[in-house]
Amino acid sequence: MSRKKLTRRQFVAATAMSSAALITAPYVRGAYAAGKLSIGFWDHWVPNANDASTALVKEWADKEKVEVSIDYITSNNNKIQLTVAAEAQAKSGHDILQMPTWWPHAYSENLEPLNDVMEPLIKQNGAVNDTVKYLGQAGGKWLGVPATPGSQIKGPCSRIDLMKKLAGIDVQEMYPVGGPPKADNWTMETFLKAAEACQKGGSPFGIGLGETTDSVDTAGAIFQSFGAELVDAKGDITVKTDAVRQALEYYKKLIAFLPPDAPSWDDASNNKWLISGRGALILNPPSAWAVAKRDAPQVAEQCWTHGMPSGPKGRFAPFLPYFWGLWSFSKNKEAAKSLLTHLSQPSSIEKFVAASGGYDLPAYANMTTLKTWAEEGPPKGTLYHYPNPFNHQTLSIAASPAPPKIAQQIYFQATLTKMALRFAQGEKMETTLAWAEGECEGFMRS
């Protein structure tokens, strides 16, 4: 048996060549040649909506020969937030992890910049709104890619019949299917009058005053429509301003017309309020309507999702985007970026929106007139104005424009609803403001 001897030079040359080949050709087409990718997606409320994500990922994985694993993580009881915190701390876990609103900023140090993914996507799908930029960008660096699944606007969902009967407002005429809103008279004052009329008629507006996100989001939009900021964009405390005082005065009037137990409401309470047929309006994404469709069809067919009323400083709607973040400790960043681009293609976005029955909202300007929203029902077109197709309201998040790390504290400590409640329960205006100022000082920690 002849045996050729390998010289040292040959060995070095062969090693160098094979290393170079390995480095320069990561996408070799073999079964799973491009490595593994592990993904943590938000577990969708809407039954079977996760299937769209699974199918899209699989489609990409088969094409790119990447072995993928997906975990669907619920946001119930903050499970997804706990996972984000744990993985950031352990510096290991999923490659891509979906995170809600404030989390990209909270863990910005551990996230891979995604400008090379976002810039082409914006060119292709249209601009993203300011809230997405505010929550998803830090110092010009994109911390995450706005995820369509889970992103939502918490605007009004009104009862067509009750609003017409008790408040004399035709919400369908104000927000017609296929046309721009005729909502010039839909102001905070009209809203207050309608709240009073509906309360007197026995179907009060279902707006919570608790510490969970729905209550805080409403408070945020109302404060913003008066131009009230507790902390401004520079990080200065601006609690003791006329705008904040006006917002509190307004809230006090509104609270008088809300259910007396609103201070203990959580995110499920307003849904129950609408579905049980007790209220004329709630501020929520169409999940309550979707449940009503199943459990109380006679209520669902009277629901109309539309825009927020405008205040002295504009019309603001609470918007809560989700992001797909890529950990800086991920071992397969290139594959992850390729997947994120795939998930943000118009065709993928359309699938997400359809699978969620119109609940999910893309962040891009060109993607707000998909046919799902025009066709969903009953009543047909109830979701047409949900994605803000005519840009007639500013999508914002409570506590903005404070620097996100401070705003996150204001948001989760529910400082806005607490202020409103304190003042409405008889505390002096200046005492409430002093309390809020003290709270905000505490939120300045870095």
Partner 1 sequence: MVLRPTVRMHLRSRPIWPTAHSTSHMKAHVMADIVVEQGRAVRTASKRKRTSLRNAMGRKSTVAFFLTLPLILLIALLVLYPAVYSVHLATLNKSMQRFVGFGNFTFLFNRDTFWMVVKQSCIFAVTAVFFKALMGFIVAHFVHNIPAKGQRKWRGMLLVPWVIPPAMSTLAWLWLFDPSYSAFNYTLSFFGIGPINWLGDTSWARFSVILVNVWYGAPFFMIMYLAALKSVPDQLYEAAAIDGANWWQKIWFITLPMMRNIIAITTLFSLIVTFANFDIVRILTSGGPLDRTHLFATWAFKVGIEGSDIPLGASVSLFMVPILAIAAIFILRDVNKRGNEA
Residue 107 near residue 91 (C-beta atoms within 8 A):
no
In the complex, the smallest distance separating the C-beta of residue 82 from partner 1, rounded to whole angstroms, is 6
Alpha carbon 196 to chain centroid distance?
30
Q: Find the binding residues for partner 1 in span 105-164 (CB under 8 A).
A: 106-107, 109
Near partner 1 by CB under 8 A: residue from 41, 42, 60, 102: 102
Nearest residue (CB) to partner 1, 65 versus 272: 272
Q: Does 323 engage in binding with partner 1 (CB under 8 A)?
A: no
Retrieve residue 148's tokens: 């369509």
Nearest in space to 357 (alpha carbons), one of 446, 430, 407, 294: 294
CA distance 181 to 186: 10
Q: Does 202 engage in binding with partner 1 (CB under 8 A)?
A: no
Q: Find the binding residues for partner 1 in span 158-177 (CB under 8 A).
A: none
The half-sphere exposure of 333 on its side-chain side, counting CA atoms within 13 A, is 12
Near partner 1 by CB under 8 A: residue from 50, 284, 400, 408: 408
In the complex, the smallest distance separating the C-beta of residue 85 from partner 1, rounded to whole angstroms, is 6
Q: Does 433 engage in binding with partner 1 (CB under 8 A)?
A: no
Q: Does 93 engage in binding with partner 1 (CB under 8 A)?
A: no
CA distance 305 to 169: 14
Phi and psi at residue 402, in whole multiples of 5°? -55, 150
Question: Which helix (H) or strand (E) is 295 found in, with range?
Answer: helix 287-295
Residue position matching structure tokens 């160098």: 16
The residues with which 223 forms a beta bridge, in sequence order, are none
Nearest residue (CB) to partner 1, 33 versus 85: 85
Near partner 1 by CB under 8 A: residue from 276, 366, 369, 391: 276
Near partner 1 by CB under 8 A: residue from 141, 412, 429, 437: 412
Q: Find the binding residues for partner 1 in span 208-267 (CB under 8 A).
A: 209-212, 259-266
Nearest residue (CB) to partner 1, 265 versus 316: 265
Phi and psi at residue 70, in whole multiples of 5°? -120, 135
CA distance 50 to 22: 35
Residues in touch with partner 1 (CB under 8 A): 78, 81-82, 85, 89, 102-103, 106-107, 109, 209-212, 259-266, 269, 272-273, 276, 278, 405, 408-409, 412-414, 418, 421-422, 435, 438-439, 442, 445-446
